[in-house]
Amino acid sequence: MKIVMVGEAATHQQELAAELATPATFVALPREAHESPEWDDQIDGADVLVAMRFKRSTPAPRFRLLHAPGAGLDGVDFAALPAGCTVCNVFEHEIPMAEYAMACLLEHQIALASVGAAFNSDTFAQAYLGRQPRGELYGKTLLIIGFGRIGQAVAVRARAFGIRVVAISSRAQGGRVEGPMDEAYTEAEVLAQLPRADFVVLSCPLNAHTRGSFGAAQLAAMKPSAVLINIARAAVVDQAALYEALKAQRIARAFLDVWYQYPAGEGDNVQPASQRFEALPNAFCTPHVSGWTHGLFERRYRLIAQNIDRLARGEPLHNVVAGN
């Protein structure tokens, strides 16, 4: 079994090899091999290409299975894939991403790091006597836009804190949807529900329908004390509208972990957005780390190994997105 691993995926060869029952030969290629034909001779004839992206303007090399080591497939040009290629993905990111979302909610309410950093024995008495009450998560309302694996994982944890969960889902009917929520509505009802929310979590996929779907109208519908948390894709939110809403303090805060541009490889010092969100006092910015945990990679590459073993045995694959 020939397995080609591209970019960041190539750093996880050991995890994949440890879980495989099938004998395999590995080829590690740089990130640029996602789009450049320069390495196609090394990809050609592979049984499995493990890569998050694949684009070609020239005829594609031959491989049987494109296995994305993640869930999002917006970086794959399906029309460029070789004939007969199957595409599979994996999830498992919902656990750390839901923990990240909860950390954002708690950070906004408690600000534990800054409170701790400000502690000083010399000023303790004044700080103690002058302390001000803070908010609680208990009793707050969380609107989750996109109620798939990530949204539901956030909901489970939020409800444990006594938060009321309102789900926005295309599957919502009669105020309900399968999963841990208190109420559910369709995308057409978002504007009517936004004024209720203390927190809004974006966890929907990026597609033609959702791209730019959270714009000036949606931001204007949020109450001034509300907080936006984007763990979906940056392009779901209109960049200019978000920047202006934060700058004008029309919403209280935004936690941003996903960005509008990413580096193509080493040395590509690309800016994440056209505006410096990190310069705004009410923007909390992180470099796409919400799902980046040791446990994530262990779970994902275990599942990829199981699929490769199934491919070797001629058995049906799990998480098939396209192809057989």
Q: Are residues 179 and 236 in the same domain?
A: yes
Residue 247 sits in the same domain as residue 152: yes
Q: What is the total count of domains within the chain?
A: 2
Task: Decide the pairing of beta strands 63-67 and 227-230.
Answer: unpaired
Are 158 and 58 contained in the same domain? no
Residue 265, pLDDT score:
72
My answer on whether 52 and 106 are in the same domain is no
Instruction: Choose among 18, 96, 86: nearest CA to 46.
Output: 86
Task: List phi, psi (to 5°) of 188.
Answer: -65, -15
Name the residue among 45, 96, 93 with its Cα closest to residue 68.
93
What predicted TM-score, i.e. pTM, was given to this entire model?
0.87
Q: Are residues 174 and 223 in the same domain?
A: yes
What is the CATH classification number for the domain harbouring 16? Answer: 3.40.50.720
pLDDT at 324: 67
Distance CA 143, CA 162 (A): 14
Q: Which residues of the chain have pLDDT under 70?
A: 324
Nearest CA among 186, 184, 12, 207 for reference residue 90: 12
Please, what sign has the CA dihedral across residues 264, 302, 70, 53? positive
Residue 82 sits in the same domain as residue 141? no
Range of the domain at 238: 94-285
Q: Strand order in 283-285's β-sheet? A: 183-185, 164-168, 141-145, 199-202, 227-230, 253-256, 283-285
From CA 40, how far away is CA 62, in angstroms rounded? 9
Does residue 300 share a domain with residue 254?
Answer: no
Residues 219, 130, single domain; the answer is yes
Question: Is there a single domain that holds both residue 223 and residue 78?
Answer: no
Amino acid identity, position 79 = A
Q: Same structural domain for residues 82 and 110? A: no
